[in-house]
Amino acid sequence: MNYVHTSIMPEELLSHLVPQSPDPIMVDATCGEGGHTHLFLSAYPDLTVVGVDRDREIQKKARVRMEAFGNRFKPVSMWFDAFFKEAEDDSFDLILFDLGISMFHFDESHRGFSLRKGEPLDMRLDSEDPISAFDVVNRYDEKKLADVIYAYGEERYSRRIARAIVQQRKTKTIATTDDLAGIVYKNVPPAYRYQKIHPATRTFQAIRIEVNRELDRIEPALTEAIRTLKVGGRLAVITFHSLEDRPVKWLFRNLAQEERPVLKILTKKPLVPSEEEVARNSASRSSKLRIVEKIREEERHGT
């Protein structure tokens, strides 16, 4: 089976996330094709990894990849925020979140994550979710669409792009990635078209985040994940842009600066990939890794 996603900062993760107890349990909260999971199962023979992912198609690949590890790999098909909300206190030794979108989704899923493939507008990580990219593009009113593109894509021409989308759909449904990318390209200033990234990149990011509620899930998931982490356990988060990194940084900082801190921050500045890694895997270039250790139980109010 072909695996298209390259795991980010593997050496850094292995050196910081070291199991400290007998029969340790790790949660790979964004398992994907299982690159990080395979790495840890190979390195630590007593480790069990719970691999959480909402996309059943990519999880099939992880199941095949992890067959040699038998019941040391336990796949779970859920959104990570729901998984941790349901998990019991003090259950896990290690937890990893890699908040990036797997290359599988861009290269193999045929769901419109890539703006260069002429695919149907979908962008759902969970194909059972009710709202797709098609719905956002064709049914949101102009203001709401502009707000999404500005807030989640940090796109300076969000209003211009939203206006062009609304005008276009009056005469023709916008059904494919080619349709959407072409509208953006034609309706931004000429100088904006010839940069390192395609001028529709930020718009696509914004719509994908809206469809999957990516940013809405981060803080609730981390809050519950910390509750489920054992004292002495470690939690790591890889982010790829400031919209993801900001809530992670502030949540960790707040819990580490309380009068009786729950967390100790192990990465005062986030770790970033080496020049060698970026040369091997250009997708890693914007990644940041933050790691914390749980140093005491949180107070349970009302109990």
Q: What's the pLDDT tens digit per position in 19-74?
A: 988 999 999 999 999 999 999 999 999 999 999 999 999 999 999 999 999 999 99
Task: Report pLDDT for 303.
Answer: 45
CA 222, 100, 242, 19: dihedral to nearest 10 degrees? 40
Confidence of residue 196 (pLDDT cuts 50, 70, 90): confident
Q: What is the DSSP letter of 92?
A: E
Q: Give Cβ neighbours of residue 98 (< 8 Å, ≥ 6 apart).
A: 7, 8, 30, 32, 36, 238
Domain boundaries in the chain?
10-104+216-294, 111-212
Find where tokens 């842009």 sit. 241
Backbone angles phi, psi at 127, to 5 degrees: -65, -10
Helices (H), 231-289: 242-256, 275-280
Alpha carbon distance, N-terminus to C-terminus of the chain: 50
Q: How far apart are CA 76 and CA 73, in angstroms?
A: 10
Q: Does domain 111-212 have CATH number 3.50.50.60?
A: no
Q: What's the pLDDT tens digit per position in 267-298?
A: 999 999 999 999 998 888 899 999 999 999 87
Beta strands per DSSP E along 77-226: 92-98
Q: What's the pLDDT tens digit per position in 112-121?
A: 999 888 899 9
Beta strands per DSSP E along 153-254: 229-239
Q: How far is CA 287 from the centre of its chain?
A: 11
Confidence of residue 4 (pLDDT cuts 50, 70, 90): low
Please say if the pLDDT value at position 263 is more than 60: yes
CATH number belonging to domain 10-104+216-294: 3.40.50.150
Going by their DSSP bridges, the two strands 25-28 and 92-98 should be labelled as parallel
Task: Report pLDDT for 281.
Answer: 86
Please say if the pLDDT value at position 99 is more than 60: yes
Find where tokens 């992890």 sit. 66
